[in-house]
Amino acid sequence: MTRKNLSVTQSNELTEATYSLELQSKRVIWLCLMQRYHKKETNNLNPLFTISVNDYANMFGVSTSTASRDVKKAVDLLSEKAITFHVHDQDYEVIKRPWLAEAGAKSGWGEWNIEFNHKIMPYIAGLTSRFTTYNLYDCGKLKSVNTIRLYECLCQYRSTGVFTATHEWLVDRFELPKSQAQNRAEMRRTFIEQSVKNINKNTMLKVVFSEDLDGRFVFNFQFNDSKLPK
């Protein structure tokens, strides 16, 4: 697979979920999603994945020693964190569950086996008609997880080129810090403006944002495929 064709596919439930992670954990999740969708799996909801330090180093352009530290940090953080899914067709409106059931390192092999909580696998890998695909080479150059998550939301609406969100929705889904949650202008200055600038600089997207009469943030965007690597 060439760098141009590296892609990640995830359910819209994951794109729209409430969670906060650091970059290392987000990258490990990407590697898991790539394993799921670029291999022929007999059981698409198998929660067990193997993460190689060498794969991480090669994918994200870091040294092996940095990759080893990053993967360990990622697994530690995922072991401590939970994710909240927003569902409206079951008994609950929201479901909060831990990311991982188990994680184990293979000493001397430079690998980690991680097992996701089997109850979140349908939302991670159980694709129906609601899913988002985006270019890993593209978003892999973004260093802020909240910027990455905004990029994922934009890609979800690729067919229309318009994504609209309220201040409250962004605060809830991205678990933004208190300073941004309580101060709309601060969120716009330190999150939205900076994120749009970085997305425009580092990805195929060209984004322009504004606010409508109801105070919602409106992101209009288009793709420029000429920015893809050859």
Contact 156, 132 (CB under 8 A): yes
Considering only CA atoms, which of 206, 158, 188, 116 is closest in space to residue 15? 158
Contact 136, 34 (CB under 8 A): yes
Residues 141-149, mean pLDDT to the nearest whole number: 93
The span from the CA of 19 to the CA of 13, in Å, is: 12
Does residue 16 have a pLDDT over 60?
A: yes
The span from the CA of 43 to the CA of 156, in Å, is: 25
* pLDDT value of position 44: 61
Considering only CA atoms, which of 221, 170, 174, 217 is closest in space to residue 26? 174
Q: What is the pLDDT of residues 20-61, one digit of tens each?
A: 999 999 999 988 888 765 555 555 667 889 999 999 999 888
Contact 67, 132 (CB under 8 A): no
Q: What is the pLDDT of residues 55-88, one digit of tens each?
A: 999 988 899 999 999 999 999 999 999 999 988 7
The pTM score is 0.87
Q: What is the pLDDT of residues 163-219, one digit of tens each?
A: 999 999 999 999 999 999 999 999 999 999 999 999 999 998 999 999 999 999 999
